[in-house]
Amino acid sequence: MKFIHLSDLHIGKRVNEFSMLEDQKYILEKILETAEAEAADGVILAGDLYDKPVPPAEAVRVLDAFLTRLAEMGMPVFAVSGNHDSAERVAFGAQLFSGRGVYVSPVYDGKVEYISLRDSFGEVRVYLLPFVKPAVVRHVFEEEEIDSYQDAVRAAVEHMEVDPAVRNVLVAHQFVTGAARCESEEILVGGLDNVDAAVFDQFDYVALGHIHSPQHVGRETVRYCGTTLKYSFSEAGQEKSVTVVELGDKGDVGIRKIPLKPLRDMRRIRGSYMEVTDRAFYQDMNMEDYVQITLTDEEDVPDGMQKLRVIYPNLMRLEYDNTRTRESGDVNGACEVEQKSELELFGEFYELQNNQAMSGKQEAFVRRLIEEVQERQR
């Protein structure tokens, strides 16, 4: 049984005010070609189909065209809603879609039905678990103690009644502890959304969405496939890919990646204004690529963005690295965010802005606010 594992399409996304729709149409066409060439038995979409709960009409048309093409190819689709999606909108028409082999997770109500497939090795069951928050699961299972994302996902899995004798695949959209994040992902400060990979031990393969970098967490078969396109410059050095999963007999899972070449790549450029505008510097580049330029000049270049866009039409971001910017101080990046508490992070931010630490009274006030926010998120 062969699956194409995709996630985080984020159709309709804008990056630094640039629409990515043309790039998304292009890469979805390449994915269709790959799925056909691989003769896949199904395509998995592990959440964040859209970038917003209420996507623009053009984004809906793009996803509709993609799903229609897969249905015409006779290739089943297994999709769940992610944290960027509206579960209700994604689930609309689910019963009708299933008649064409497009299976979509319903709004979570405590029941996760499986889709049964068969090959020469027997049955494969595919379970569709949409992105769930503690409050949603707690509402369904009121008698259980559900105070965290870990509790919520554990309870949802336990109520699936998974048969260990057959091959089981779970499609889910959660943050599993230990996964490495990128700048383009939503982060719950302090790791409130963490889920331990052990809750998925009953499944032969766990097709995850939510993290934009391809990686496994814990065992090889608990896997994020990553995005099909780069959505932040922290991903500039990555090679995006399609993940192909092949299930043999029980316990036999093969995983490989097929690289994806985008319409426009993302690249970082660094140098002085004179260097980056020298033809010898950029003559071998694809000038349609999305670009972040870091200028090392000590003085800002007047109208630098407009001038550089004459050469680099898809310049998304212009930054400076010089004595002034290095001395001004930087707020810590996403990698450090996960290692500090919310109060510590706010304290550091306050000190950067005010050149002094918070008073005891201010700290107590911020602590109460953080606790209130955490309670509302549960």
Q: Which of 214, 242, 259 is the last residue of a domain?
A: 259
Q: How far apart are CA 1 and CA 249, in angstroms?
A: 9
Q: Which residues contact 67 (CB under 8 A, 6 or more apart)?
A: 77, 97, 102
Output the pLDDT for position 289.
Answer: 96
Q: Which of 241, 259, 277 is the last residue of a domain?
A: 259
Query: Do 50 and 151 fall into the same domain?
Result: yes
Output the pLDDT for position 337.
Answer: 40
Give the count of domains, the chain.
3
Query: Do 100 and 214 fall into the same domain?
Result: yes
Q: What is the CATH number of the domain that holds 118?
A: 3.60.21.10
Q: How far apart are CA 72 and CA 101, in angstroms?
A: 10
Output the pLDDT for position 333.
Answer: 44
Question: What percentage of residues in the chain have a pLDDT greater than 90?
Answer: 70
Query: Do 147 and 222 fall into the same domain?
Result: yes
Alpha carbon 284 to its chain centroid, in Å, reads 31
Output the pLDDT for position 184.
Answer: 56
Query: Do 275 and 361 fall into the same domain?
Result: no
Structure tokens at 15: 């990056």
Judged against a pLDDT cut of 60, whether residue 303 lies above it is answered with: yes
DSSP string, 327-361: HH-----HHHHTTS-HHHHHHHHHHHHHSSPPPHH
Query: Do 201 and 254 fall into the same domain?
Result: yes
Strand partners, 319: 294
pLDDT tens-digit map of 248-301: 999 999 999 999 999 999 999 999 999 999 999 999 999 999 999 999 999 989
Query: Do 80 and 224 fall into the same domain?
Result: yes
pLDDT tens-digit map of 4-60: 999 999 999 999 989 999 999 999 999 999 999 999 999 999 999 999 999 999 999
Q: How many residues does the chain have?
A: 378
The CA-atom distances, in angstroms, between 138 and each of 26, 85, 148, 191 are: 41, 20, 10, 20
Judged against a pLDDT cut of 70, whether residue 82 lies above it is answered with: yes
Average pLDDT over the chain, rounded to an integer:
89
Q: Is residue 332 part of a domain?
A: no
Q: What are phi and psi of 163, to 5 degrees?
A: -90, 115
Judged against a pLDDT cut of 60, whether residue 307 lies above it is answered with: yes
Query: Do 159 and 213 fall into the same domain?
Result: yes
Query: Do 296 and 355 fall into the same domain?
Result: no
Which of 177, 86, 162, 95 is closest to 127 using CA atoms? 162
Structure tokens at 219: 């065992």
Domain limits for position 63? 2-259
Output the pLDDT for position 377.
Answer: 62
Q: Is residue 334 part of a domain?
A: no
The CA-atom distances, in angstroms, between 122 and each of 76, 119, 169, 199, 263 are: 18, 5, 14, 25, 40
Q: Where residue 334 falls among pLDDT bands split at 50, 70, 90?
A: very low
Query: Do 270 and 349 fall into the same domain?
Result: no
Q: Is residue 346 part of a domain?
A: yes
Q: Is residue 199 part of a domain?
A: yes
Q: How far apart are CA 45 and CA 372, in angstroms?
A: 34
Query: Do 181 and 95 fall into the same domain?
Result: yes
Query: Do 217 and 162 fall into the same domain?
Result: yes
Q: Which residues contact 183 (CB under 8 A, 6 or more apart)?
A: 232, 233, 234, 235, 333, 334
Q: Is residue 333 part of a domain?
A: no
Q: Is residue 335 part of a domain?
A: no
Query: Do 293 and 183 fall into the same domain?
Result: no
pLDDT tens-digit map of 241-251: 999 999 999 99
pLDDT tens-digit map of 171-200: 999 998 866 666 655 555 445 678 899 999
